[in-house]
Structure 1
Amino acid sequence: MSLRFKAVAVGAAVALAAASWTWFTPADAPAATVAFKHPGVLLSRAQLDFVKAKVKAGAEPWKSANAAMMSSSSASLSYTPKPRATVECGSSSNPDNGCTDERRDAFAAYTHALAWYYTGDSRYAAKSIQIMDAWSGTIKQHTDSNAPLQASWAASVWPRAAEIIRHTYASWPHAGRFGTMLRTVHLPQALANRAAYNGNWQLTQLEAAVGIGVHLDDRAVYDQAVATFRKRVPAYIHLTSDGALPKPPPGTSIDTRAEIVKYWNNQTTFVDGLSQETCRDFTHTGYGIAAVSHIAETSRIQGADLYPEVQERLRHAMGLHAKHSTGALPAWLCGGALANRKLGPVTEVGFNALSNRLGIAMTNTASLTAAQRPAGNNNLMSAWETLTHAGNPA
């Protein structure tokens, strides 16, 4: 297939996938604003500089968090990427043909990009580029049932690495090819309609689309993702002000009480901060919370801050799950029993934004966040967020 024909075919696929977001209309899109700020996916240059100064000064918790990152296998200068032309991922990554490899490599590229910025050692930048180039020169597609989620997990992280390298390092000859990979391989999967799935799916897809939009300077992709995000968050995190029942996920047929209760994993008592996936398990809920925090953080960097819009849902969600991550569950919550209540290292970004920047009291979230420091790398949604976001005012 010629490159020209291939580009046309992929462009058609992107357009078809975008059309599947039937609840998005032009009226939903914010008006075009100023140019994107770079680096600007999850981290700004001011945030990077703040951490660099703290690490240089040996201040905590950044010193310990940086030591944990630099001693990880993801920061090894001998790290070897494992790209594949086809990444095949079934349910729960079974089969796992390149799924774990791609996620690990994306986080390794991001880790090396951070190491480059904080140390000034160009070897880390070169390694980050090597990893990204290996994948952009190889991958063609994601397949099997988890393809949209896998592609979006990876594409939530790839742009973080790419933004730092492209906008702070002197040379990246194949940067354009990497951008083409994001647009043609990952973006169609991020735009696939999975509105009726568990909410962490679509929130992860939206995080990927937001990051891709910023990195490619594609205002249409970014605005579309943000417009959908603004409707999706209220259907994932409940507030009692919403009414007796949670909001139904937009663009789906889930709208009766029986359907909503089933979708919310048979929970029938709805309180502030309850998530659609709370009674599934806290880990998947954490993925959703992470995506909400990450998208809001990127929006703040880009000058159209979404935190004021989502802060009540986000603070209550983090607080409720932090409170119930240990101890006995009340009888009204998930029947009083839930096997998995491990939230994961997902609270640093939201806690910093809401508590440190906005001054909102968040006792339970503060306790859990401190207990999990330094936040590590879960190779799915979050990595090194104590280092990058703890107490970061920028």
Structure 2
Amino acid sequence: MKAPNRTTKLNDLLAVLVALGISAASASAMDFVHPGALNSKAELDFVKAKILAGAQPWKGEFDRMRSSSFATRRPHGRANVNSSSEDANESRDDAIAAYTQALLWYFTDDETYAKRSIAILNSWSGLEGFTAGSDQDRLQAGWIGAVMAPAAEIMRCYPGWTASEIGKLQSMFTRAFYPQLNTASYWNGNVDLTQIDAMMSIAVFNDDEGEFNRGLDRLRVRNPAYFYLTSDGSRPKRIAGDGGNPEKFWSNPSKWIDGLTQETCRDGGHHSQFGLGSALHAAEVAWHQGVDVYTENEQRYTLAMELMATQLLTGSMQGACSNDTPSPDRYDTWEVGYNHYHNRAGLELPNTQKLIVEQIRPRAPRAVCNLVYETLTHADLPKLRAVVKH
């Protein structure tokens, strides 16, 4: 019998991939780790053990999540999302509910939560796109994708979610989300960073190395254009959308200091918390896939965290802005970065730690847009593994 040639073998392999629902275009040389978006299996298992032991803050955070309306929410899937209508709230709340119920299933082994989370995810598999026709669509896609994809990453561990259903959700992300995420918004930088957060998580769920690398490339461009260091020069790095006027784009800072963000003087740290949280989420997703974004941005991220924490703690913008009053808003957006730089890397971030203990854990809402349950999932995690640098 004539031995099959290499072409025949390749064709046979492609036939197997097609039979398994994997296209040649989607087959990736990168070996993605699952679950591996915002949460790793080891981290989820650590939190689960802490909850079962009644340890704090995890048990209290778990009880708070379980008593929220997201724990019982039913699906509200749509064929299209108009980001300027009630569709926006329904889609954001569904994404948070899917993530809430995915975490509840993982931590309790109660299949009721698994089935509810999957029902929400499946209800969005028919989404065709976003129809507002503005950058609000890009922001909306970022908010939803950055939470829905981590929910899907957790639920792919559940044997009751079929390969066909998973494939439909992956196709939906490609069809409806990629067009909104893959072109950077020219609005303020928190929007692009939110898009990047979603790109990275969706890429992991979709096993899409190309999308993953596009997210990393975008993050590398945005970081120095959002987080300022005096070593960058007298002014920050330029970026498309800044209008050629960095002073105006950065809301006219009174002084350019380490840790300033592009939106620090816009509204005293309100939007900066979203920008910082989204950047750190993207770095965390990369970390779980063996790519170290944290080290190359250590100064940018930690100085921004410490400056913003100081401003929020003291009630003063520290002379950085003409309006010296910080935002009254606090979000659950500090634990991911603090966990990495303090618990994994061993850095002291005293102002960030104080802010978390005194203000974030006691009073911050736990689920707003793409800033969701960080205290539950990332507080005081152990150093579970060393990163593999690429």
- Report if TM-score (shorter chain) is over 0.5: yes
Instruction: Note the C-alpha offset of 1:273.
Output: 0.8
Corresponding residue for residue 10 of structure 1: none
State the distance in 2 between where 1:353 and 1:304 align: 14
Instruction: Note the C-alpha offset of 1:33.
Output: 6.4
1:214 aligns with 2:208: no
Contact 1:325–1:342 (Cα < 8 Å) also in 2: no
2:97 to 108, 116, 120: 108
Distance 1:42 1:98, change over 3 A: same
Corresponding residue for residue 188 of structure 1: 179
Corresponding residue for residue 72 of structure 1: 68
SS state of the match for residue 55, structure 2? Answer: coil
Distance 1:169 1:274, change over 3 A: farther
Corresponding residue for residue 166 of structure 2: 175
Distance 1:330 1:121, change over 3 A: closer
Of the two, which has the highest radius of gyration?
A: 2
Unaligned segments of structure 2, at least 5 residues: 1-27, 385-390
Instruction: Note the C-alpha offset of 1:137.
Output: 2.9
State the distance in 2 between where 1:140 and 1:300 align: 30
| Count of aligned residue pairs for this structure pair | 351
TM-score normalised to structure 2 length: 0.86
Corresponding residue for residue 8 of structure 2: none
* TM alignment of 1:94-173, pairs within 5 A: 96-145=85-134, 146-172=136-162, 173=164
- 1:4-37 deviations in whole A, cap 9, x for unaligned? xxxxxxxxxxxxxxxxxxxxxxxxxxxx864010
- 1:54-92 deviations in whole A, cap 9, x for unaligned? 11111111111111111111112xx222222222123xx
Instruction: Note the C-alpha offset of 1:138.
Output: 4.7
Contact 1:209–1:222 (Cα < 8 Å) also in 2: yes
1:379 to 340, 345, 368: 368
1:349 to 332, 336, 347: 336
Contact 2:149–2:202 (Cα < 8 Å) also in 1: yes
State the distance in 2 between where 1:370 and 1:33 align: 42
Corresponding residue for residue 370 of structure 1: 357
2:321 to 327, 334, 338: 334
State the distance in 2 between where 1:283 and 1:331 align: 16
Corresponding residue for residue 76 of structure 2: 82
Instruction: Note the C-alpha offset of 1:143.
Output: 2.1
Unaligned segments of structure 1, at least 5 residues: 1-31, 91-95
* Percent of pairs with identical residues: 39
Corresponding residue for residue 273 of structure 2: 286
State the distance in 1 between where 2:152 and 2:284 align: 17
Distance 1:53 1:376, change over 3 A: farther
State the distance in 1 between where 2:295 and 2:318 align: 33
Contact 1:109–1:127 (Cα < 8 Å) also in 2: yes
TM-score normalised to structure 1 length: 0.85
Task: Name which structure has the greater RCO, CA cutoff 8 Å, separation 6+.
Answer: 1
Q: Which amino acid aligns with 2:180?
A: Q
State the distance in 2 between where 1:122 and 1:330 align: 48
State the distance in 2 between where 1:144 and 1:329 align: 38
RMSD: 1.8
State the distance in 1 between where 2:51 and 2:152 align: 22
1:62 aligns with 2:58: yes
